[in-house]
Structure 1
Amino acid sequence: MKTCPWCEEGTLSSVTDTVYWELPDGTRAVEITETPSILCDHCQALFQSDETVKEIEDQLFLIDTKQLGKQTKYEDLLKMKRLLKRNYFDFSE
């Protein structure tokens, strides 16, 4: 894998971890378990790829978050029914 962007020394490996994400409306945060993450073996930085961050943020924007409990698995979050087909407010593409 690549070199760590934080310490520029460590080697990165793929892991899963628990993350906490604020809902788009700012009312609360949700615990997302088994989230694909990246870990540096040198500085122990633990983070998510840009793609994973976008998937989570898009999905939280597109689902009925009132149906979401305090905790969910990453895979279950991505399987939740969307109210819209895609994020029509994302102009980055």
Structure 2
Amino acid sequence: MQCMWCESKQAKNTTVTSYWELPDGTRAIEIKMIPSVHCVDCGMEYQEETLIEEIEDQLMLIDTKPLPNSMTYQELMDVPRFLKKNYFKL
């Protein structure tokens, strides 16, 4: 895998814990086990843009009020959506 920052071929898939602000701005939740990339050469840890969009779309399309303060990435993605996709995305 190639690092998008330093272009090293030493990047590896990993998982991380991160805090994500809910779209309504009322609070942030802890999301554990987010698929991520870690580069052993430059030290960067990041999520690919498509995954970030996936998380943000999911948070826009679900009822966030009953979400716990902490959950795994898969638990978040398993929450039923109000709509099938984000029709407001240009």
Give unmatched runs, 5+ long, in structure 2. none
TM-score, length-normalised on structure 1? 0.89
1:10 to partner: Cα distance: 6.0
Give the drift of 1:64: 0.3
Mapped to 2, the partners of 1:11 and 1:52 lie a distance apart of 20
Cα deviation per residue 1:6-35 (whole Å; 9 max; x = unaligned)? Answer: 334462110011011111111111110010
Partner of 1:55: 54
1:31/1:71 contact within 8 Å kept: yes
Which letter does structure 1 place at the counterpart of 2:13? S
Partner of 2:37: 38
Identical amino acids, percent of aligned pairs: 49
Number of positions where the alignment pairs a residue of Structure 1 with one of Structure 2: 90
Distance 2:73 2:30 in 1: 9
CA distance in 2, matches of 1:84, 1:62: 6
Q: Which 4+ runs in 1 deviate beyond 4 A?
A: none
Q: CA RMSD in A?
A: 1.2
Cα drift, residue 70 of structure 1: 0.6
The one-letter code sitting in structure 2 at the alignment partner of 1:16 is T
What TM-score, normalized by structure 2, do the two folds share?
A: 0.92
Contact 1:10 1:41 in 2 (8 A): no
The AA in structure 1 aligned to 2:12 is S
Does the CA-based 8 Å contact 1:11-1:40 persist in structure 2? yes
Unpaired segments of 5 or more residues in structure 1? none
Alignment-derived partner of residue 69 in structure 1: 68
Cross-structure match for 1:87: 86
